[in-house]
């Protein structure tokens, strides 16, 4: 039993390390203006917004990942691989963030960014489904599990819609991404 707990703890620690590296890479992409005037900060608005949204997304992913991890118990091989796929996709966020910042939220980069959110969220949905399927009713009610699944599917649909919307209106697509993130701000859902 201690070895099984150690495996789960090691996988959670590895995941935490990957999230930390991703945030570090993102912050290294931030470049200060050459001139000392505050007016030189204004052209950096796409960088500031894209960094803030991505940082929020990573924080939400980490919180929800951490919340679900407490229900894992002994991780299955499938769950371990889903976790690796999820982390792999999350590792593309610094690239996507940099691209939308440098192009001032142009259509193709925002479509790519939203598409990456879709892929990350698909992996998260698989991870969440595998974890919640193993949780017994004493830890989480069936109603709460259903509510969590529905919320995750609504977020996935929102990211997909944001990707399609970004083809013609990238700022609206980006705004929809931001709105969808609000649904996952609180990981411990409670069905009313």
Site of tokens 């990707």: 163
32 inside domain: yes
For residue 188, being part of any structural domain is answered with no
CATH of the domain at 17: 1.20.1410
Domain count, the chain: 1
Per residue in 41-85, pLDDT (tens digit) is 888 888 999 999 999 999 999 998 888 888 888 888 999 999 999
Q: Whole-number mean pLDDT of the chain?
A: 89
Picking from 53, 50, 49, 45, the residue whose alpha carbon sits closest to that of residue 178 is 53
User: What's the pTM value of the predicted model, to 2 decimals?
Assistant: 0.88
Domain that holds residue 106: 2-182
In a domain, 187, yes or no: no
Q: What was the pLDDT predicted at 189?
A: 62
The answer to whether 186 and 138 have CB atoms below 8 angstroms apart is no
- H or E segment at 91? none
Per-residue DSSP letter, 40: G
> Which residues, other chains included, contact 2 with Cβ-Cβ below 8 Å and sequence gap of 6+?
none
Are residues 161 and 153 in contact, defined by beta-carbon separation less than 8 angstroms? no
- Asked if residue 137 is part of any domain, the answer here is yes
* pLDDT at 192 > cutoff 70: no
Domain-located, residue 27: yes
């Amino acid at each position: 039993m201690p070895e099984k707990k150690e495996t789960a703890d090691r996988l959670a620690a590895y995941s935490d390390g990957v999230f930390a590296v991703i945030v570090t890479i993102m912050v290294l992409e931030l470049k200060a203006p050459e001139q000392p005037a505050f007016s030189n900060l204004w052209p950096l608005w796409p960088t500031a917004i894209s960094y803030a949204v991505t940082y929020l997304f990573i924080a939400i992913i980490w919180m929800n990942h951490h919340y679900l991890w407490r229900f894992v118990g002994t991780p299955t091989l499938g769950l371990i691989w889903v976790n690796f796929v999820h982390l792999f996709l999350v590792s593309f966020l610094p690239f996507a963030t940099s691209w939308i910042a440098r192009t001032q939220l142009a259509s193709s980069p925002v479509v790519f960014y939203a598409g990456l959110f879709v892929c990350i969220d698909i992996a998260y949905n698989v991870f969440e489904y595998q974890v919640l399927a193993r949780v017994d009713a004493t830890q989480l009610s069936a109603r709460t599990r259903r509510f969590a699944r529905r919320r995750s599917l609504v977020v996935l649909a929102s990211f997909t819609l944001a990707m399609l919307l970004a083809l013609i209106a990238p700022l609206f697509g980006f705004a929809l991404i931001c709105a969808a993130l609000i649904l996952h701000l609180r990981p411990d859902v409670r069905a009313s």
